[in-house]
């Protein structure tokens, strides 16, 4: 899987743009504003907003036209991390190498900062400049796509299943289902949002949805592999935690070699969904490969 | 303040419609779906959705056209109650005479059920039938109104201030500010959403916004009074809790007689904002009076 596209510098410049836009959307000196900014600016990989912008560009749109929507997606992602880390949930004290929001602030502030980020995402989406009715219809469509993906039939439903299944042995099918909700739904929604805002046609949107489904699952398989083989210093968090907690993971279920082969197969499938795209699809191709090759 | 309009039967029939619509929007047998339904169907006063529908009717719209939006507003309200009751926040075991969501289920489920209700509100709003671009623009406007009101510059900001001010003596001005955020913002947004969806003109929307500002504050003053003088059996919760917690309340700050006079003055101001409305404004007038005369 050779790729002449320089993903490293693409990601660096995209992350810079996204971080600048996020910082502008998150001003204020109140405690809640500080907690929101603390978690959003903690330096995530920004995979979801980058995917949103890359999908918009793949269908002929411009990344800068969707950057606010991309930021809204990152806010939804960050809120989910803040709430997942809470003592009543995964009880994680560290996130991205720094104290989790409820450790750095307090539990009440972390709950409210998560709530506020989720709410602000919809404020950002509904405040986008919109001069024509057709643009308004597109914005409503992505608000629908993202709220369905983030809700109890998507990410939240996946988190519920994840909590319920700790210590219980899942089938491979059930594990795939769990992750298609917990992480897959929002990754797919990120790609689709970009494709819709970039005014992709029906076939493009369908192929991008399939692409996203494959990379979303591959992303989780790779995460599970990193939790076994990764470097804690690079990851910014402890490894081996899935096993300690009795979590269902792809390596524990199908073995390490099979898991790696599965991730590779998913990426091959994702790449073939991009066949209809010209060179504007390069960032999406490179991201697919990066997802399984990343070290953090 | 005489009123020939029969509010009791109006509220009974509106609540029946709203409850039926909410039940239809909240199906499912998963644990998260049950927790969401448990809290939403716990039998609140439905003041916010009733206000939304009454505002739509006051400007010449139809209540049934805004009932889904009214349900979305009640979902946002319910999510805020679930999260406020959490051990890390107000730590309330009882809500509306029944165990709070985190007591009836568990803390993780309550956090996620709140998150899911907030998310579903935006799903409902973005899924409303919308055949023209102008309707889409109106829907985007109410998504913006509601997300701003529910966010860190509104309800969540008010809750943060409320937590921070326990045991600290506030000025009357600071207490008014706190409540204009914590409860006032969403009450105003409920009225404005109905007015916008009912296609009110600029003056109507402005006057309804002022009406809502006054009743929102009066609602909180009345709540504080009920926490001193109310009947726990009617309220479905303990009284005297504000004093025990060292909460800033209007009675503690300005005395009981002054608080009642203040609430009455606010309602008079609210009623005068309705002067431009004909008999279609009767429900809004009756609700204003009910807000200070209610026993629960």
Q: What is the pLDDT of residue A106?
A: 97
pLDDT band at B273 (very low <50, low <70, confident <90, very high): very high
Question: What percentage of residues in chain A have a pLDDT greater than 70?
Answer: 98
Q: Does A123 touch chain B (CB under 8 A)?
A: yes
Cα A16 to the center of its chain, rounded Å: 17
Contact B80, B72 (CB under 8 A): no
Q: Does A89 touch chain B (CB under 8 A)?
A: yes
For residues A167 and A17, the model is more confident at: A17
Q: What is the pLDDT of residue A84?
A: 96
- Provide the 8-state DSSP code for A98: E
Question: What percentage of residues in chain B have a pLDDT greater than 90?
Answer: 82
pLDDT of B3 over the 70 cut: no
Q: Does B156 touch chain A (CB under 8 A)?
A: yes
pLDDT band at A95 (very low <50, low <70, confident <90, very high): confident
For residues B296 and A202, the model is more confident at: A202
For residues A185 and A3, the model is more confident at: A185
Do B137 and A136 lie within an 8 Å CB cutoff?
A: yes
Do A119 and B152 lie within an 8 Å CB cutoff?
A: yes
pLDDT digits (tens, 9 = 90+) for A257-267: 999 999 999 99
Q: What is the pLDDT of residue B131?
A: 67
pLDDT digits (tens, 9 = 90+) for A204-228: 999 999 999 999 999 999 999 999 9
Q: Nearest chain A Cα to B152, which residue?
A: A116
Q: What is the pLDDT of residue A231?
A: 87
pLDDT band at B231 (very low <50, low <70, confident <90, very high): confident
pLDDT digits (tens, 9 = 90+) for A109-165: 999 999 999 999 999 999 998 766 678 999 999 999 999 999 999 999 999 999 998
**What is the DSSP track for chain B?**
----S-HHHHHHHHHHHHHHHHHHHS---SHHHHHHHHHHTS----HHHHHHHHHHHHTT--GGGGHHHHHHHHHHHHHHHHHHTSTTTT--SEETTEE-HHHHS-HHHHHHHHHHHHHHHHHHHHTS---SHHHHHHHHHHHHHHHHHHSTTTHHHHHHHHHHTTTSPPPHHHHHHHHIIIIIHHHHHHHHHHHHHTT--HHHHHHHHHHHHHHHHHHHHHHHHHHHH--HHHHTS-SSHHHHTT---HHHHH-HHHHHHHHHHHHHHHHHTTTT--GGGHHHHHHHHHHHH---
Within 8 A by CB and 6+ apart from A257, the residues are none
ipTM of the complex: 0.95
Q: What is the pLDDT of residue A176?
A: 95
User: Closest partner residue to A143 among B86, B126, B151, by Cβ?
Assistant: B126
Distance between CA atoms of residues A89 and A95, nearest Å: 14
Averaged pLDDT, A254-276: 97
Do B115 and A116 lie within an 8 Å CB cutoff?
A: no
pLDDT of A2 over the 70 cut: no
Q: What is the pLDDT of residue A150?
A: 98
- On whether the B7-293 domain is CATH 1.10.10.10, my answer is no
Do A119 and B150 lie within an 8 Å CB cutoff?
A: yes
* Listed ranges A182-186, A230-234, B247-251; the one with the highest mean pLDDT: A182-186
Start-end of H helices in chain A? 7-25, 31-40, 47-58, 67-85, 101-104, 107-126, 133-150, 155-164, 172-179, 185-197, 202-229, 232-235, 241-244, 250-254, 256-272, 282-293
Averaged pLDDT, A247-252: 91
- Provide the 8-state DSSP code for A269: H
pLDDT digits (tens, 9 = 90+) for B4-58: 789 999 999 999 999 999 999 999 999 999 999 999 999 888 999 999 999 999 9
Q: What is the pLDDT of residue B295?
A: 81
- Average pLDDT of chain B, as a whole number: 93
Q: What is the pLDDT of residue A133?
A: 66
Do B164 and A31 lie within an 8 Å CB cutoff?
A: yes
pLDDT digits (tens, 9 = 90+) for B99-127: 999 999 999 999 999 999 999 999 999 99
Residues of B in contact with A83 (CB under 8 A): 111-112, 115
Averaged pLDDT, A76-87: 97
Interface test with A, best of B82, B136, B193 (most A CBs within 10 A): B136
User: Closest partner residue to A137 among B127, B133, B163, by Cβ?
Assistant: B133
pTM above 0.90, yes or no: yes
Q: What is the pLDDT of residue B133?
A: 66
């Amino acid at each position: 899987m050779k790729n002449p596209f320089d993903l490293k510098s693409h990601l660096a410049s995209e992350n810079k743009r996204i971080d600048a836009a996020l910082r502008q959307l998150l001003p204020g000196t109140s405690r809640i504003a500080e907690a929101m900014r603390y978690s959003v600016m903690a330096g995530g990989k920004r995979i979801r907003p980058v995917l949103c912008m890359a999908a918009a560009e793949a269908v002929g749109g411009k990344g800068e036209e969707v950057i606010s929507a991309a930021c809204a997606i990152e806010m939804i992602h960050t809120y989910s991390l803040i709430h997942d880390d809470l003592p009543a949930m995964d009880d994680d004290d560290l996130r991205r190498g720094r104290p989790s929001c409820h450790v750095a602030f307090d539990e009440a502030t972390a709950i409210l900062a998560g709530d506020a980020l989720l709410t602000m995402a919809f404020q950002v989406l509904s405040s986008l400049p919109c001069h024509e009715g057709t643009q308004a219809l597109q914005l409503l469509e992505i608000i629908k796509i993202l709220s369905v993906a983030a809700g109890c039939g998507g990410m939240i439903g996946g988190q519920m299943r994840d909590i319920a299944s700790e210590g219980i042995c899942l089938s491979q099918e059930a594990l795939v289902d769990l992750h298609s909700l917990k992480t897959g739904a929002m990754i797919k929604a990120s790609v689709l949002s970009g494709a819709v805002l970039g005014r992709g046609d029906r076939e493009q949107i369908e192929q991008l949805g399939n692409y996203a489904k494959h990379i979303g699952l591959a992303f989780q398989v790779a995460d599970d592999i990193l939790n076994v083989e990764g470097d804690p210093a690079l990851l910014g968090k402890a490894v081996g935690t899935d096993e300690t907690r009795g979590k269902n993971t792809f390596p524990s279920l199908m073995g390490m070699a099979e898991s790696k082969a599965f991730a590779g197969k998913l990426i091959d499938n994702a790449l073939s969904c991009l066949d209809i795209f010209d060179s504007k699809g390069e960032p999406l191709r490179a991201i697919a490969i990066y997802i399984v090759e990343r070290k953090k």
